[in-house]
Amino acid sequence: MFNYEAIISDIQKLYLSSSIPWVIGFSGGKDSTTVLQLVFYALSALPREKLSKGIHVLSNDTLVENPAIANYVVREMEKIRTKGETVLFKHKPDLFNVVRVTPKLEDTFWVNLIGKGYPSPNRWFRWCTERMKINPTSSYILNNMGKSGKAIIVLGSRKAESGNRAASMNNYNNGKRLRKHTLPNAFVYTPIEDLSNNEVWAYLLQAPNPWGGDNRRLLKLYSSACSGGECPFVIETGTQSCGKSRFGCWVCTVVDRDKSMENFIHNGEEWMKELLVFRNWLYDIRQQTNQYVPRSIAKKVKFGPFLLRTRREILDKLLTMQEHLPLELIAPDELNYIQKLLANDAEGQEQKVLKKFIFKLSNGDKLATISDFNILLTPRTRLGSKNLKRVHLIKSQKVSYHFSHSTRVMYYEM
Ligand code: SF4
């Protein structure tokens, strides 16, 4: 068993050494639970009057978290809040903050996938982590840490999590307790970085959970899923992907198979089957070129390359699934925003009437394009070789056109 007294003492010393507030990343997984538990123990052993600087327990909700984990985290956070405000910081409850940060509306998974047409993320095009995890956390820190913006970010990162993690942590190993974070005036503290997996579990199962949580339930969650490590609390682009994790998003296509969801189903969570089928379908269509705007003209598309019909199909399937599942898969404000984006793209399509745009070129010639057309069948020459950035729209009119499932609007930057 590791010397947890030494870690607690280190936490106490660091807490008392400055007035810089602490931001503790809490994903609900074993590592962040261990760190938060150690911080609770460390601070409760200090005299109350010494607890005079803010603690922010931050949980990052991508809004597409694995539902079994998301429910667990919400319940834990409520217990943490109650214990923190009424016991640990009873003397100054406003110093103890428990916060769930979420992506901005324009950055959510569904808005990007369906509304903007970005294919679901993979290892090479992982647009999700920054939008859904790093940015919400960074905004919280920048907006809530006072004028100086100073913060110490306390994380459960461990070298034993993976070779990559060990290498990146060793890069920062300068013999000091804190390393500089990419945010100005922020530092990272990783008190359990040298602990092994076994030591973490041994600690969690032996030391009572100080906010009344049930670490055996956490172990059960882990054993319901099978292989892999927990999704780290991601705070900067260098942090390893959580794609391999069991504590990630249920829609994650960064991994080939979501083994954790497969195991949840295998272990009795039958209702997740539909989610898994949908997730696998997302993974499949991502590989199919007929779901994309042809490469040669992809740069002229304002947003992502998924075809309009693909995006609509995703939305239809998602809403159908939501109808009979006892949980919200997409929030009403996301749905509204997506519908506006889709309507924008499909201008006139519903009435089988499309818009014709006539452009005046710099040499006086005119060029006509149709706002929405059968992109796979339309000859490339129709788009012309003109640089559409330098033309002026002079007229717009409606034209009749047959609806085709392979249509999508083309946006030109004008
Ligand atoms: S779990 Fe997958 S989809 Fe979610 S943020 Fe991580 S890499 Fe992206």
Please check whether residue 65 is in contact with residue 250, taking contact to mean a CB–CB distance below 8 angstroms. Answer: yes
Q: Any alpha helices (H) in 325-393, and if so which ranges?
A: 332-345
Q: Would you say 69 and 252 are in contact if contact means Cβ atoms under 8 Å apart?
A: no
Residue 220: the pLDDT is 87
Give the residue, by CA position, lying nearest to ligand 1 atom 8.
128
φ and ψ at residue 16, rounded to 5 degrees: -80, -15
What residues does ligand 1 touch, defined as CB less than 6 Å away? 62, 121, 126, 128-129, 132-133, 231, 241-243, 248-249, 252, 254
**279 CA from centroid of ligand 1 (Å):** 12
Cα distance between residue 149 and residue 101, in whole Å:
18
* Atom 5, ligand 1: residue with shortest CA distance: 129
- 4-214: in CATH 3.40.50.620: yes
At 308, list the tokens: 């309009």
Q: What is the mean pLDDT of residues 281-285?
A: 95
For a ligand 1 pocket test, name from 129, 130, 133, 258 the mutation site with the most ligand atoms within 8 angstroms of its C-beta. Answer: 129
Q: Tell me if 12 sits within 8 A of 45, measured CB to CB.
A: yes
Ligand 1: which atom is nearest the Cα of residue 133?
5
The reported pLDDT for the residue numbered 369 is 55
Rounded Cα gap, residues 328 and 348, in angstroms = 31
How many CA within 13 A on the CB side of residue 227?
Answer: 5
Length of the chain: 414
Q: Given a cut of 70, is residue 124 above it in pLDDT?
A: yes
**Residue to mutate (ligand 1; options 61, 111, 254, 261; most atoms within 8 A of CB):** 254
Range of weakest confidence among 119-128, 182-191, 243-252: 243-252
Q: Which amino acid, one-letter code, is at 322?
A: Q
Our mutation pick for probing the ligand 1 site, out of 249, 255, 261, 283, counting the most ligand atoms within 8 A of Cβ, is 249
Report, as an integer, the average pLDDT of 382-399.
Answer: 46
Q: Tell me which long-range contacts 134-139 makes (C-beta under 8 A, separation of at least 24).
A: 134/234, 134/235, 134/236, 134/237, 135/103, 135/104, 135/107, 136/60, 136/101, 136/102, 136/103, 136/104, 137/25, 137/58, 137/60, 137/101, 137/233, 137/234, 137/235, 138/183, 138/235, 139/101
Contact yes or no for 261/66 (Cβ under 8 A):
yes
Q: What is the pTM of this model?
A: 0.79
Q: Residue of the nearest CA to atom 3 in ligand 1? A: 252
Name all contacts of 79-85 with Cβ < 8 Å and 24+ positions apart.
79/211, 79/212, 79/213, 80/26, 80/36, 80/211, 80/213, 81/57, 82/211, 83/40, 83/210, 83/211, 83/212, 84/55, 84/57, 84/211
Looking at residue 62, what is its pLDDT? 97
The mean-pLDDT minimum among 192-196, 226-230, 306-310 falls in 226-230
Domain ranges, ordered by start, for the chain: 4-214, 292-414
- Supply the residue whose CA is at minimum distance from atom 4 of ligand 1: 249
pLDDT digits (tens, 9 = 90+) for 68-80: 899 999 999 999 9
Using alpha carbons, select from 74, 87, 80 the residue that is nearest to residue 36.
Answer: 80
Cβ-contact 172, 179 below 8 angstroms = yes
C-alpha of residue 61 to centroid of ligand 1, in Å: 11
Residue 384: pLDDT band (50, 70, 90) is very low
Of the listed ranges 118-127, 234-243, 247-256, the one predicted with least confidence: 234-243
